[in-house]
Amino acid sequence: MVPTNVIPFPEVQYSIRCGACPECGKTDGYFNVGKEHWFICREHKTKWLGGYNLFDNWKEQTVAQTEIINEMLEDYKEVLPFRQQEKTSFKVSGE
Ligand SMILES: [Zn+2]
């Protein structure tokens, strides 16, 4: 299933702040689950909690949308995100 209401997330500064997929260092966007912002990588089916109440658009989301998102996120594996400030296990190629 292709998520339809994922919010595109190209801003690099936020991917640094909120983390990125530990497999590839990218994110496809995020979903709101209540005040929680869950980021995903579609390619690796990973998800991680990026933060709480960082973006106001969670308030516009309906309960029905949240249920669909919750069901979709069950297919994704929760991971520890890669963050540039922290030295995690993510390896930059060429090092
Ligand atoms: Zn990935």
pTM (2 d.p.)? 0.73
Q: Which chain residues have CB less than 5 Å from ligand 1, an ion?
A: 21, 23-24, 41, 43-44
pLDDT of residue 95: 45
Domains of the chain, by residue range, sit at 11-78
Look at phi and psi of residue 68 and say left if phi exceeds 0, alpha if psi is from -120 to 50, else beta: alpha
Cα-to-centroid distance, 90 and ligand 1 (Å): 11
Cα-to-centroid distance, 49 and ligand 1 (Å): 15
Segment 14-44, tens digit of pLDDT = 556 789 999 998 888 898 999 999 999 999 9
| Cα dihedral value 30, 33, 36, 38, nearest 10 | -30
